[in-house]
């Protein structure tokens, strides 16, 4: 019986440790989604690089906000909303009007 409890505790500890490891790999579905979006919008290399840089900057800023213990939950939520708005503006400034329309249509299709 003690062995069973020990085994259960050990499995819980190991699964928790495994779940907390940061993964540096991109999930295949995410990678395919990015390629598909790039192809459907007809992004050139410069646009793709600018969007990638914008998203990377957003992730870094998001991590800073999430780690900031001085901010309340409400302040964090407001800051995250502001960061998302800034990221969207940067991405929109990168796209041509035709690409913006295509993106809008793709998002609408996805939500329905």
Average pLDDT along the chain: 83
Measured CA to CA, the distance from residue 81 to residue 76 in angstroms comes to: 9
- CA angle, 107 then 78 then 65, to 5°: 95
Render pLDDT for 27-71 as a digit per residue (tens, 0 to 9): 666 667 777 778 888 889 999 999 999 999 999 999 999 999 999
Is residue 21 very low, low, confident or very high in pLDDT (cuts 50, 70, 90)? low
- Per-residue pLDDT, averaged over 94-109, amounts to 89
> Does pLDDT of 110 surpass 60?
yes
- Per-residue pLDDT, averaged over 16-24, amounts to 57
Measured CA to CA, the distance from residue 2 to residue 7 in angstroms comes to: 8
Measured CA to CA, the distance from residue 61 to residue 69 in angstroms comes to: 14
Is residue 26 very low, low, confident or very high in pLDDT (cuts 50, 70, 90)? low
């Amino acid at each position: 019986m003690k062995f069973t409890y020990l085994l259960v505790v050990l499995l819980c500890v190991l699964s928790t440790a495994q779940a907390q490891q940061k993964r540096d790999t991109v999930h295949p579905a995410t990678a395919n989604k990015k390629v598909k979006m790039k192809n459907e919008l007809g992004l050139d290399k410069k646009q793709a690089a600018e969007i990638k840089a914008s998203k990377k900057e957003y992730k870094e800023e998001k991590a800073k906000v999430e780690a900031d213990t001085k901010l309340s939950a409400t302040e964090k939520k407001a800051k995250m909303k502001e960061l998302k708005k800034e990221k969207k503006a940067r991405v929109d400034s990168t796209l041509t009007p035709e690409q913006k329309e295509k993106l809008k249509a793709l998002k609408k299709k996805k939500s329905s």
